[in-house]
Structure 1
Amino acid sequence: MAKLYDKHLKVVLNKKHEKQFTLTDGEGLGARVSAHGKVRWQFRYKIDSQSKRIDLGDYPALSLLKARDAAKQCREWLAEGFDPKQKRSLKREQTLRPVSIKEALEYWLVEYAEDNRANASKHRSQFERHLYPYIGDLPLDQTETRHWIECFDRIRKGIAGKQKAAPVAAGYVLQNAKQALRFCRVRRYATSRVLDDLTISDVGNKQKKKDRVLSHQELIDVWALVNSSRLMPYYSNLIKLLIIFGSRTQEIRLSKWNEWDFTEGLWTVPKSHSKTGDKIVRPIPESLVPWLLDLKANADMSDQILGDLKTPETVSQQGRKLWKKLGHEEKWTLHDLRRTLATRLNELSIAPHVVEQLLGHSLGGVMSIYNRSQYLPEKKAALEMWLDRLDLLANPIDNVLLINRN
């Protein structure tokens, strides 16, 4: 069968004809010519002996070569067992309205992170600051690795006068973005592998393993600070609870009064506030109850135990200033209070698995599978001992020797 050439199409294009007719190119491809001379490409095929056709586009907007490519794609879909009309419709919808980078990352945040990551709000905040303004509206499947690297480089190097260099944050954003794109890919929401080959060292730095533990004198300084009026009540109460329980900052920051059962004497951190996704149960020391009840009475009807809900960035910024405020020589952060409690409890001969439970860590090995005990009596005894030690640090008694004052 003779193939079509452009000259055949140009002869009939935009010319008057008695009736419509079709010029055949072969292998299912034809050009339907209307009575007014409009030329439209069509692909004809059969499924279960039923004749079907697809409009591919108009000539000359869709050239002869492009029309042949489109017909070839239809034949391949048909050979694979797909209806070309349905496949082309889906492909066209994806092309005309592709999933943007912002939509893909938000899909992960809403469908996964908000239920499984206690730091979901932090992840969104970082995306909103570092990614959305620059590449958020770009189609995910059309972006290249370089587009993302430009964003990571801005985080790593900083922006003069606007943003400090943050190489660790660059790696953190990369990790979350990679997980988000994998989640979208597995869920068949959107597909992109542009970040697969990138590692943290390609865009920034890994977070260094920290070992900062406050000395007894530093801890005395902090304890005295939170029991004074030198800090805003929000931060005094936050840091006091961090010192006592060794919890993560977000567990206190997000905590509501319905988590605190004063009848049973338990504080239950819900899964949604836990970094590990597991519920954390901590006993409330009896000596702490009067202070907590006063705190609740002065909460002005707020559900939040701290009376307000501040962003993690705001809290972190305040925490980074405390070591200077107290005149300490070596920097420490709010998270180091958690490590300090763990270290000091071990010095008090508290069993390691009890300390791990207080911290909200998952027990390792077979213990995580078979041992479901909360060790509540042991945790309560450990916290009571810790409060006694804090009281002794703040109010030393003559002839009482504190072991290891460093």
Structure 2
Amino acid sequence: MLSDAKIRAAKPRDKSYKLTDSHRLYLLVKPNGSKLWKWNYTYDGKQKTMAFGIYPMVTLLQARAHRDDSRAQLGEGKDPSNEKKLKVEANLNASRHTFERIAREWHDKVKSRWAKVHADDIIHSLARDVFPKIGSLPISSLTPPKILEVLTAVEDRGAIETAKRLRQRISAVFTYAIAKGIAEKDPSEKLATVLKPLPRGRQPAITDLGRLRKMIDDAETDYARPVTRLALRLLALTAVRPSELRGACWNEFEDLNGDEPVWRIPAARMKGDLERKQEVGGDHLVPLTSQAIAVLRVLWPITGAGPLVFPSVRHNSRPMSENAIGYLLNRAGYHGHHVPHGFRAAFSTIMNEWAERHGKKHDRKVIDLMLAHVPKEKVEGAYNRAAFMERRREIAVAWADMLTLSLPPPAVLVSRPIARIDDIFRTSRLERNELNQGCE
């Protein structure tokens, strides 16, 4: 039996010689002074030798542990040398199968299912927030704490929704890796429960007129369907709820060639409970400015053949996706700064400030009426929704004039270059959110 003292005392000789231990383990001392661990064994009737490393990098205790593990493999009918080669190969493969490599492979496999815009967003988000931190690590070695560290860094900059989307994308990469036998489990699977919840409360809105105009111009310059650009413009001009805009039907617009054009949104499409939706005389009246009518005139040749003003690109009988305008704002760089619903807050803030300088006594109430807000002291059925129409039209004109001061006419929005239709829509997400009903 060997000991550390005996091994250290062993001096080199002219020829290599062995210092034997138990169960055919020995230390080969070479003329140059190096000491190598070797183990002889018999497999399938053949004599073989296996190396365990250099002393003292591999200690006596470690060499014996290697020998015992190899003897156990022999007992299972396995060749320890082959098992060692397989293990080395597996480790090499693991080092080659980095998270970034597998993520890009996954992306190449599945990107044809998505619109190009959506596919680009996915790989860009991974390249920005994930690859720099864990991209070079073997995917099979990643743990929940390591992935949580990546997602927490995204949360810490205030991008709560982005962190949640990244977790979903990381999870999809692991699902692919598991299917290929590269990983055994998804360490990101349970992390959704520990991420920060999305903030609730007032939705983000730009309420400075100059910044609002710039945002609209930036979004209208970005790639999109002409219908989406025009929907953004009409939403900004009318300050209606996004759901009311999406469901707009051509037969709701009255007197477009007359002196008092109006958009009559049926009570059934307004926000509220069943009683509100069934209210007689409960239609919401939106006075239309020349700028709003200009948008409709440009839209008519595009969608006028159907009942909906803003139909889905895939189904003329269904409204456009509820996410289309929001994605346009996000692509223009306003994610977290302004949402489609934010035009209502912008209109309320800017026009109430305007009313203080240029307005009349009841303008605050008029502005609330234009937003379809019911005063607290009124009940639904006792509220005159057609009141102050003349003043509402004056305020609408003032708003439209200020808002479009530096914006191009609507016709320009149609002539701007766009991506291919399939590149614009994030099909897998948008189609699920489209309404199933159109206009009567």
Q: TM-score w.r.t. structure 1 length?
A: 0.52
Structure 2 partner of 1:140: 139
How far apart, CA to CA, are the structure 2 residues paired with 1:222 and 1:81?
Answer: 82
1:185 aligned to 2:178? yes
Corresponding position of 2:62: 66
Question: How big is the shift at 1:193?
Answer: 4.5
Aligned residues of 2:38 and 2:50 also touching (Cα < 8 A): yes
Q: In the aligned structure 1, how far is the partner of 2:107 from the partner of 2:130? A: 14
Pairwise CA distance, 1:36: 2.6
Q: Distance in 2 between matches of 1:90 and 1:18?
A: 36
- Listed as ranges, the matches of 1:300-319 within 5 Å are 314=331, 317=334
Within-5 A mapping of 1:1-20: 3-12=1-10, 15-20=11-16
Code of the aligned partner of 1:214:
E
Question: Equivalent residues in 2 for 1:5-404 (5 A)?
Answer: 5-12=3-10, 15-95=11-91, 98=95, 99-110=97-108, 112-118=109-115, 119-158=118-157, 165-191=158-184, 193-196=186-189, 198-205=190-197, 213-215=243-245, 216=248, 217=263, 225=295, 244-247=310-313, 314=331, 317=334, 342=435, 345=438, 347-348=439-440
How far apart are the structure 2 equivalents of 1:32 and 1:47? 22
In structure 2, distance between residues paired with 1:325 and 1:10: 82
Q: Distance in 2 between matches of 1:199 and 1:222?
A: 46
In structure 2, what is the Cα distance between the partners aligned to 1:340 and 1:193? 28
Indicate the structure whose relative CO is greater, using CA pairs within 8 Å and at least 6 residues apart: 2
Q: RMSD over aligned Cα, in angstroms?
A: 4.5
Q: TM-score, normalised by structure 2?
A: 0.48
The 3 A distance-change label for structure 1 pair 126 and 224 is farther
Deviation readout 1:296-322 (Å, 9 max, x if unpaired) = xxxxxxxxxxxxxx9996268599666
Whether the 8 Å CA contact 1:200–1:206 is kept in 2: the answer is no
Where 1:152 maps in the other structure, the secondary structure is: helix
Name the aligned partner's letter for residue 122 of structure 1.
Answer: D
Listed one character per residue, the Cα deviations across residues 348-370 of structure 1 (whole Å, up to 9, x for unaligned) are 2xxxxxxxxxxxxxxxxxxxxxx
Q: Which amino acid aligns with 1:47?
A: Y
Shift, 1:323, TM fit: 5.8
**Structure (1 or 2) with the larger CA radius of gyration:** 2
Please give the alpha-carbon distance, in whole angstroms, between the structure 1 residues aligned to 2:296 and 2:334.
17
Contact 2:144 2:191 in 1 (8 A): no
Instruction: Give the direction of change, closer, same or farther, for the CA distance of 1:29–1:176 in structure 2 (3 Å limit).
Output: farther
Give the deviation of 1:134 after TM superposition: 1.8
Q: Which runs of 5+ in 1 are unaligned?
A: 159-164, 230-235, 248-280, 285-309, 349-406
Q: Secondary structure at the match of 1:57?
A: strand
Question: Does the CA-based 8 Å contact 1:104-1:190 persist in structure 2?
Answer: no
**CA offsets 1:240-275 (integer angstroms, 9 cap, x no match):** xx965414xxxxxxxxxxxxxxxxxxxxxxxxxxxx
The separation in 2 between residues aligned to 1:87 and 1:311, in whole angstroms, is 55
Judge conservation of contact 1:213–1:340 (CA < 8 Å) in 2.
no
State the AA in 2 paired with 1:213.
S
Whole-angstrom CA distance in 2 between matches of 1:95 and 1:224: 66
2: CA distance between counterparts of 1:192 and 1:337? 30
